Amino acid sequence: MKRSIMILAVSSMIFSTAISCKNAEENNSETIEMTGEATMNEMDDSMSEVDTTMSSDKELEDTDLVESGTYTGTALVVDAEQNEVYVQLNDTTTIELYFSNETQIMRDGQTVAFDALQKGQKIEVEVERSGESLKPLKVSIMGNS
């Protein structure tokens, strides 16, 4: 009889241990799945922020070439690292300008530094077309949009 009780007790302990291990595995896999979902959601949010930033602050595709002359438009992107400005002249024309040391930047008749240019400002640009590029000769900041 003692032997039967002992076998029953040992069997109960083994069964309890097996159930505990099974529950622990299920809990861990739920935690991993939930963590995985959270991580994917966070990554999606981060990618959206990166995409937004890149689309609004860096290289634009499909810029246009215009003839030498003076144009008025709005600064869409101002990239200080590249000394580059994208200017939207109208609904269909956007030009890309790389500034050089010779480019004059003016506001209220005074020469200003490149960092005075900001996204959304209304500007007047005098450009010289040279082959497939535009050289900005003079940029006048007229105000904000």
* 5 and 49 co-located in one domain: yes
* Per-residue pLDDT tens over the stretch 24-35: 555 555 444 444
User: What is the Cα–Cα distance from 124 to 128, expressed in whole angstroms?
Assistant: 13
Does residue 52 lie in a domain region?
yes
Q: Which residue did the predictor score with more confidence, 135 or 54?
A: 135
Q: What domain range includes position 5?
A: 1-57
User: What is the Cα–Cα distance from 21 to 34, expressed in whole angstroms?
Assistant: 20
Instruction: Identify the weakest region by mean pLDDT among 50-59, 70-79, 128-137.
Output: 50-59
* 77 and 136 co-located in one domain: yes
Please give the pLDDT value at position 5: 72
* 32 and 76 co-located in one domain: no
CATH for 120:
2.40.50.140
Domain total of the chain: 2
Does residue 41 lie in a domain region?
yes
